[in-house]
Each structure stands twice: as structure tokens, then as C-alpha cells.
């Protein structure tokens, strides 16, 4: 039975201008052809009861009988999805990712996440869209995400043209999981479609400086500052050089350094009367305290002496105009690393600002600081310290590992003596001074 536009409006919703040859199959189910396309395939239009919404599907056939049968099948599937609270409308992954990004922007404006985190989310969404952006999210199997790391390594490039790191891929997959969980909350997909596998872990060694490399950087850096040819260049070199010293002696993350204000820095005294620097840092949506040797306070004071912004709530690391330094002096630091021939590590990996944090961790572990205390200081987990800095144990325990080899014969403990009878240098175990970062 053919229906007029008036009948369609009453029984199956409003008639749309491009709908022709309309036929009502039952209340809320209509088939029709489109007058704005060149083919003769039929479409069906279904009303979602209890909602003022409709779903239209191309039936991919010009034959009326087949169109009727397919329309009833589509209607039955729609009722099944509604009954079992399954997603009714298909959405491309890129569309859901855009919704998720908009939600994160709202959270950023409400202060729930940092602007840096929001920018990272936007950055991570790009390769995800390249992978499955045009695919309907309802048909992306969880197993598809298990192949993402390999696909990314085969097809992606890092910021400097090198192979994408597993750390970056892990960050991207964390965002992918966030998008999938958002899709579940909106009933776009079922929970069983969310990837449940293990996320990739970084397989690259952290590119810290060796003690000799750090001394070279320190020495070249001092001369580099002195060689400044004008006031502006001298300002940036002075700040960048002292920034390096601060980062290598505190273990701060770059985002924490960006947030650091002058009121966050103070000097305290321990129970033995020794002074140390107390720093309150903010980053990764968390707050923590860290401590540093008193020499670090001098590095801060060098920056304060030439900074145009020294109020309590002003950022410590700024531009020469007093604005927050977004890049944390990446350009002058790169120049210094090149001048020192230290831009690339022995494994040919390009060093970034994070290498200063890794240098701090390496030196502290070499000096015998426990993984627990170091994890507290650096705002991370003991497992992360063990996973990424396990190679330090060989250096820290060299005397035990090399025991018995020529020159490493066991050394007997010195006999106990009273403080009054002890003489410097006698009956003492030979000193093996461990390298320290230059102050």
C-alpha cells in the first residue's frame, strides 16, 4: 500500500522532502526511495518508541519485496538493541573521539585536568584516528587494539624522525582506553568491546648522562654563558644553564618545573643543623614535596637575580618578558648539548629535557639511596624505579660482583676501636669515592 506524505507524517513521523514512493509497513516503519540520489535502492526509516528520534538505513536493493523483508529484519534488530540496552546509532571512532576531546576540554576549563594534559590528549588522538578513525566504533573488536603498538611502530615517527617510543604508544593507548570507556558510558559500545590487554611498557633505556658527561656539560656550560655576545643571549643562557643544574639535582619532571612558583621554594634545617632546600611541586594532577642540597638554592637565586618576575606567585622559569616558559628553554639547551657533543647518547638516542631527571635518579641510586626513598622523592613507584634503573645495581654493587677478581680480593673489616684511639687513614677500608655530579 502506497502512502501519502500526510499518512507518513501521522504514522511514521514527518515526511522529508527527498522521500518518494513511500510505503508504510507498520506503525513506525516506512520504506522509501530518495529523490536526491541517482540509484533506485530502497531505504527504511524506523521510529524509536518513547523517543522523538528516527533511524534511517539504506537497504541496498531496488527490489520492493527484498526491501520489505530487509526493513522488517532491521526493525527486529533495532527492537532487540533497545531491549538489551545496546547502542542503536553507529558512530565512527573519530566522532566519539571528538566527543571525548570536548569533554576533556570542559574538564580542563573546570580545573580537573591541566592544560598540558589536555594538549597531550589532543596530540594522542591524532594517530588513533589514523588507525581506526573511519571505522564504526561498534565493530572495532578489542583484539584490534592488541595490534596497535606494532602498527604504530611500523607506520609512525617520533618528533625528530626516529621510531615512535613505546612510552609514547602507551600514552596513546591510555587515551584510547579513555575513549572506549566513554563510549561504554554513552551506551555506544558494550563493556566487552573495551581492550583488556596489557599496555606496552617502555623498552628504551632512560638516557641519563654519565658522571663524565655531566662534568663536561657543567664545564662547557659555564664557558658557554661567558661567551654570550649580547644581553638577551646572556640572559637565556644563564637561566638555561641554572635550569639544568636545578633539574639534575632535584629530579623534577618538566611539567612540575613549568608550574613551579617562587613561593614553592624554601630553606629548612634538619635535626643535625644541616640546611636543605624544600620544594613543593605540582604536576600530573598531584602535589608533592621534594628536597635538594642547599647548593640548589644558589641556582634559584641566580635566576631570581635576573628574572623580571619574582613575586611569590610568579613562575620561576619564565621568558625574558616574565611570561611562563612553555618550552623550558629547549632551544638554548639544544645548542648547549650540541656544543658539548652530548645531544645524542651512546645508543644514538636524542636527549630531551627528561634526561636531567634520569640523570638525577641514576646518580642517587649509584650513591646507595634506597628505591623506596627515591620513589618518594621523584613522585613515582618503586616498581618504576626497578624497571627503568635496574642497570644501576651493577655499579652500586661493583665490589660484590667483582669480588675475587685481580685487584678485588675480599677486604677484611677494620677491627673495632674507640674513637679516642682511632687514627686517620690507619686500618681503614680503602676509599672508593663514587662520582658525584659537580655542584
Task: Return the higher-pLDDT residue of 31 and 367.
Answer: 31
Work out whether the CA dihedral 10, 15, 21, 25 comes out positive or negative: negative
pLDDT grade for 9, boundaries at 50, 70 and 90 = very low
* 77 has pLDDT over 90: no
Alpha carbon distance 29, 405 (integer Å)? 87
**Residue whose grid cell is 566487552:** 192
Nearest alpha-carbon partner for 360 in 336, 331, 380:
380
Based on C-alpha coordinates, what's the Rg of the chain? 32
Outline where DSSP puts E strands in 73-120: none
* 420 has pLDDT over 50: no
Backbone angles phi, psi at 31, to 5 degrees: -115, 155
Who's near 208: CB < 8 A, 6+ residues apart? 355, 358, 359, 361, 362
CA 85 vs CA 80, 82, 190, 303, 311: distances in Å: 8, 5, 9, 60, 56
Task: Return the higher-pLDDT residue of 173 and 163.
Answer: 173
Q: What is the structure's pLDDT at 433?
A: 45
User: Cell for 196?
Assistant: 583488556
Q: What is the structure's pLDDT at 64?
A: 95
- Report the predicted TM-score, pTM, of the whole model to 2 decimal places: 0.59
Alpha carbon distance 300, 243 (integer Å)? 8
Asked if 199 contacts 173 with a C-beta cutoff of 8 angstroms, the reply is yes
Tens of pLDDT, residues 198-222: 887 755 555 789 999 999 999 999 9
Cα–Cα–Cα angle for 353, 332, 361, rounded to 5 degrees: 25
Q: Which of 74-83, 86-95, 169-178, 402-411 has the highest mean pLDDT?
A: 169-178
Asked if 104 contacts 113 with a C-beta cutoff of 8 angstroms, the reply is yes
Alpha carbon distance 56, 43 (integer Å)? 7
Indicate the helix (H) or strand (E) that contains 106. Answer: helix 93-109
- Mark out the alpha helices in 260-339 (DSSP H runs): 295-306, 330-339
| Chain mean position to CA 246 | 23
For the chain, how many helices (H) and strands (E)?
A: 17, 7
Asked if 91 contacts 188 with a C-beta cutoff of 8 angstroms, the reply is yes
* 438 has pLDDT over 80: no
**Residue whose grid cell is 660484590:** 400
Nearest alpha-carbon partner for 175 in 224, 132, 219, 220:
132
pLDDT grade for 6, boundaries at 50, 70 and 90 = very low
Indicate the helix (H) or strand (E) that contains 239. Answer: helix 231-248
Point out the least confidently predicted range of 69-73, 114-118, 220-224, 228-232. Answer: 114-118
Helix axes 148-155 and 115-132, enclosed angle (nearest 10): 90
Alpha carbon distance 255, 266 (integer Å)? 20
| Chain mean position to CA 337 | 24
Q: What is the mean pLDDT of the chain?
A: 83
Tens of pLDDT, residues 146-162: 999 999 988 877 665 67
Average pLDDT over residues 89-95: 85
* 400 has pLDDT over 70: no
Q: What is the structure's pLDDT at 399?
A: 65
Average pLDDT over residues 356-369: 89
Tens of pLDDT, residues 364-380: 888 888 888 888 888 88
Asked if 347 contacts 165 with a C-beta cutoff of 8 angstroms, the reply is no
47 forms beta bridges with 54
Amino acid at each position: 500500500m502506497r502512502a501519502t506524505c500526510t499518512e507518513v507524517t501521522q504514522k511514521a513521523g514527518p515526511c522529508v522532502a527527498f522521500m518518494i514512493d513511500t510505503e508504510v509497513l507498520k506503525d513506525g516503519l516506512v520504506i522509501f526511495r530518495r529523490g536526491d540520489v541517482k540509484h533506485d535502492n530502497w531505504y527504511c526509516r524506523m521510529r524509536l518508541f518513547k523517543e522523538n528520534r528516527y533511524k534511517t538505513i539504506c537497504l541496498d536493493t531496488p527490489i520492493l519485496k527484498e526491501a520489505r523483508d530487509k526493513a522488517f529484519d532491521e526493525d527486529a534488530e533495532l527492537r532487540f538493541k533497545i531491549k538489551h540496552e545496546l547502542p542503536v546509532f553507529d558512530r565512527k571512532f573519530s566522532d566519539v573521539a571528538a566527543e571525548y576531546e570536548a569533554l576533556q576540554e570542559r574538564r580542563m576549563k573546570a580545573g580537573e585536568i591541566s592544560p598540558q594534559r589536555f594538549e597531550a590528549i589532543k596530540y594522542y588522538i591524532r594517530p588513533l584516528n589514523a588507525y581506526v578513525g573511519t571505522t564504526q566504533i561498534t565493530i572495532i573488536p578489542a583484539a584490534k587494539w592488541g595490534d596497535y603498538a606494532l602498527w604504530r611502530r611500523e607506520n609512525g615517527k617520533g618528533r625528530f624522525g626516529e621510531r615512535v617510543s613505546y612510552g609514547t604508544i602507551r600514552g596513546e593507548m591510555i587515551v584510547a582506553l579513555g575513549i572506549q570507556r566513554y563510549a561504554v558510558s554513552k551506551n555506544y559500545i558494550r563493556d566487552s568491546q573495551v581492550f583488556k590487554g596489557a599496555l606496552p611498557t617502555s623498552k628504551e633505556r632512560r638516557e641519563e648522562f654519565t658522571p663524565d658527561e655531566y662534568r663536561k656539560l657543567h664545564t662547557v656550560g659555564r664557558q658557554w654563558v661567558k661567551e654570550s655576545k649580547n644581553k638577551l643571549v646572556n640572559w637565556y643562557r644563564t637561566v638555561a644553564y641554572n635550569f639544568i643544574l636545578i633539574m639534575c639535582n632535584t629530579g623534577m619532571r618538566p611539567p612540575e618545573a613549568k608550574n613551579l612558583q617562587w613561593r614553592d621554594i624554601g630553606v629548612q634545617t634538619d635535626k643535625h643543623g644541616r640546611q636543605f632546600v624544600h620544594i613543593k611541586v605540582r604536576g600530573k594532577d598531584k602535589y608533592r614535596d621534594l628536597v635538594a642540597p642547599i647548593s640548589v638554592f644558589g641556582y634559584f637565586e641566580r635566576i631570581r637575580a635576573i628574572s623580571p618576575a619574582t613575586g611569590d606567585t610568579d613562575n620561576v622559569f619564565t621568558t625574558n618578558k616574565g611570561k611562563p616558559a612553555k618550552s623550558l628553554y629547549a632551544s638554548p639547551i639544544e645548542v648547549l648539548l650540541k656544543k658539548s657533543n652530548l645531544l645524542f647518547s651512546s645508543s644514538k638516542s636524542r636527549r630531551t629535557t627528561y634526561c636531567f631527571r634520569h640523570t638525577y635518579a641514576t646518580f642517587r641510586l649509584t650513591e646507595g639511596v634506597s628505591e623506596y626513598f627515591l620513589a618518594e622523592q621523584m613522585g613515582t613507584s618503586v616498581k618504576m624505579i626497578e624497571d627503568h634503573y635496574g642497570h644501576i645495581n651493577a655499579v652500586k654493587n661493583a665490589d660484590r660482583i667483582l669480588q675475587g677478581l685481580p685487584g678485588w680480593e675480599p677486604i677484611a673489616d677494620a677491627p673495632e676501636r674507640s674513637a679516642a684511639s682511632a687514627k686517620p687513614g690507619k686500618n681503614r677500608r680503602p676509599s672508593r669515592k663514587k662520582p658525584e655530579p659537580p655542584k
